[in-house]
Amino acid sequence: MILILAEKPIAGARIATILSSGRARKKTYRKHPYWEFELNGRPAVLVPLKGHIIDVDFLPELNRWSEDTLSTLPDAPLEHVVTERTVASLLKSLAPKVEEIIIATDADREGEAIGLESAELVMKYARREIPLRRAYFSALTKRDILSAFENLREPKRALAESAFTRREIDLIWGAALTRAISLYSNRRGKAFLSIGRVQSPTLAIIVEREREIERFVPIPYWTIDATLAFSGEKFSARYAEGQIWQEPMAQMLYKTAKAAKQGTVTRVELRQDKIPRPVPFDTTTFLREANKHLGLPTSEALKIAESLYMKGLISYPRTDNQTYPPSLGFRGILNKLKSVKNYAPFAEELLQQDVFRPSSGRKADDHPPIHPVDVSKGKLSEKERKVYDLIARRFLATLMAPGTLERRNVHININGVPFVAEGRRITQKGWTAVYPVSLRESAVPPLSDGDRVDVVSLKLAKSQTKPPSRYSEGELVKRMEALGLGTKSTRAEIIAKLFARKYISGRKAIKPTELGRKLVEVLERYAPELATPNMTAELEKALDAIAAGEKTKQDVFSVSADRLKSVLNELSQHKSEIRQSLGDEGGAAA
């Protein structure tokens, strides 16, 4: 019997249906679904997992929060515990008959780890080695699944080892630091304080931006705006030098121009600019755009994308790649999009091309960029529909022609004071016809050198320079990526944790709460490594090195444990100061 391991029930159902040409028989084991069918003339059983069915934890004697055990946590042994007992029991019942195992979980670090740990559990139950193969795919489509099963490969054990290492290090760091800061501040029970190697420097980024805003000293400046007219057509112009930093100069220029009834066109500049196409969606870019255009929290946007992937509508949504592979099958995707009214005109136009030349960005040895693979034949929720629409339109935009923007700058002399009227007009829509873009058009009459224009009105306005803006969720994800904080799969989750812990507030303009700010101040003072991205970024590189086979798990664990001991030692030397800064004032002790 062939045992196929899928990641979740909805993905399992699709894979079983495709491999069996719709003849798979659905069964249940204690309400958990699985499917039986024939694969290449052999009996096969597909069991969907529930993500990780095995977790890691400290030994029971170390689960009690006390200062006595803190110093032992960095080197503490961990035990592997079956958390999904029903799935494990089903695998145990099948193990004696299993002759081959095929892992068909998501093709990333976590998917590799989920599949391998489950396959090894089956071998443990069977008490023997079982041939093990891997099906790699980037979309739950018939084409991708059949191709993956026709070209089975060896599992990437180093990739899984990297995921196992991350999970165990995150457990140890999170538990040790959270217990230390909570115990030292006497905030226990529901009032405990959570810190970690990624969420703490991320919180520090937000706090530092708030400080920049508070430190900012606005500088006043003045602008002069003119309403002009030519042959009865009104248009706007502005003092050509822009901001004026001295009020006497601004008043002088304003009075000089105001004394004139007309101005003279001295020069007309006409330029055609390309509007570059957007690059294909990697995970970070997708999350930023979903947050910007749809107003979705990044964690929710990723969950919706995962749901669309499981339904076979889009490719795998966790990727660092911004370059389509030549084998993507553009024509097939466009033929499917052609059946949807909103996309039909664009898809039909693109299908007239003999060759597709998409835009491209960063190239990574990863899944292809996020793109549609099918159109919905069932009902989607409103949010699912909007996310799918954004992904479909982005895909079309990457294949369409660049837009063209005509810029017409008209320079006008008003009593010796230079003004400029800026006209912007999209002359060729290209990709901007299908994808949202922030381009404001402004009209300027067809003026020529020497033309006279009427001065309708002038306005002198005082303004101030603005402080840096607070991060939106999309901008924060981008900043985390730039600093090496977290991964494409975890950044949205980290931000969601900061909101859940009430360390930050505000979705479109994130600011730290008083508690979040105090926590960062304590870390900066007594454990500065936790308030900067350097250490976390170094660990991410080390985890990548494990995945590449350049380091071992023990190499990374040894360095990690030494770092953690150093941080815990720093915190323990400042217990009273931490209590004074973060203490619960007697209300949170358990």
* Distance separating alpha carbons of residues 13 and 488, to the nearest angstrom: 26
Summarize the confidence of residues 562-586 as an average pLDDT. 85
Strands 132-134, 100-104: pairing kind? parallel
Strands 452-464, 504-505: pairing kind? unpaired
Helix (H) or strand (E) holding 382: helix 382-399
Spatial CA neighbour of 138 closest among 279, 314, 398: 314
Which residues in 551-584 are b (16+ Cβ under 10 Å) and which e? Answer: bebeebbeebbebbeebbebbbebbeebeebbbb
Spatial CA neighbour of 365 closest among 107, 144, 106: 107
- Average pLDDT over all residues of the chain: 93
Residue 367 token pair: 């899944």
CATH T-level topology, domain 2-49+84-155: Rossmann fold (3.40.50)
- The CATH superfamily holding the domain 220-277+403-464 is Topoisomerase I, domain 3 (2.70.20.10)
Distances (CA, A) of 34 to 13, 27, 238: 8, 5, 69
Q: What are the catalytic residues?
A: 316
* 157-172: pLDDT as tens digits: 999 999 999 999 999 9
Q: pTM here?
A: 0.88
Residue type at position 192: F
Q: Above 70 in pLDDT, residue 586? A: no
Helix (H) or strand (E) holding 501: none
Strand partners, 309: none
Can you give the pLDDT at residue 492?
94
Query: What percent of the chain has pLDDT above 90?
Result: 85
Q: For residue 441, what pLDDT band results from cuts at 50, 70 and 90? A: confident
* 359-377: pLDDT as tens digits: 999 998 789 999 999 999 8
Can you give the pLDDT at residue 419?
98
Can you give the pLDDT at residue 584?
58
Summarize the confidence of residues 18-31 as an average pLDDT. 96
Kindly write down the DSSP assignment for every residue of 343-376, as one continuous string: THHHHHHHHT-SS---------SSSPPB-B-S--
Can you give the pLDDT at residue 305?
97
* 120-157: pLDDT as tens digits: 999 999 999 999 999 999 999 999 999 999 999 999 99
Strand segments, DSSP code E, in 401-532 are 403-414, 417-428, 452-464, 504-505, 511-512
* Distance separating alpha carbons of residues 335 and 318, to the nearest angstrom: 25
Can you give the pLDDT at residue 214?
97
Summarize the confidence of residues 377-383 as an average pLDDT. 91
CATH T-level topology, domain 161-215+471-582: Topoisomerase I; domain 2 (1.10.460)
Query: What percent of the chain has pLDDT above 70?
Result: 99
Can you give the pLDDT at residue 364?
83
Can you give the pLDDT at residue 589?
34
Whether 442 and 422 have beta carbons less than 8 Å apart is answered as: yes
Give span(s): CATH 2.70.20.10, the chain.
220-277+403-464
- The CATH superfamily holding the domain 286-398 is Topoisomerase I, domain 4 (1.10.290.10)
Which residues in 15-32 are b (16+ Cβ under 10 Å) and which e? Answer: bbbbbbeeebeeeeeeeb
* Distance separating alpha carbons of residues 205 and 520, to the nearest angstrom: 10
Q: Above 60 in pLDDT, residue 460? A: yes
Summarize the confidence of residues 224-231 as an average pLDDT. 96
Give span(s): CATH 1.10.460.10, the chain.
161-215+471-582
Q: For residue 588, what pLDDT band results from cuts at 50, 70 and 90? A: very low
Give span(s): CATH 3.40.50.140, the chain.
2-49+84-155
Helix (H) or strand (E) holding 490: none
Can you give the pLDDT at residue 587?
36
- Region of 312 (left: φ > 0; alpha: ψ -120 to 50; beta: rest) is left
Q: For residue 68, what pLDDT band results from cuts at 50, 70 and 90? A: confident
Summarize the confidence of residues 178-193 as an average pLDDT. 89
* Distance separating alpha carbons of residues 52 and 54, to the nearest angstrom: 5
Summarize the confidence of residues 460-478 as an average pLDDT. 96
* 273-328: pLDDT as tens digits: 999 999 999 999 999 999 999 999 999 999 999 999 999 999 999 999 999 998 89
Residue 257 DSSP SS3:
helix
Whether 470 and 511 have beta carbons less than 8 Å apart is answered as: yes
Can you give the pLDDT at residue 452?
97
Summarize the confidence of residues 534-563 as an average pLDDT. 90
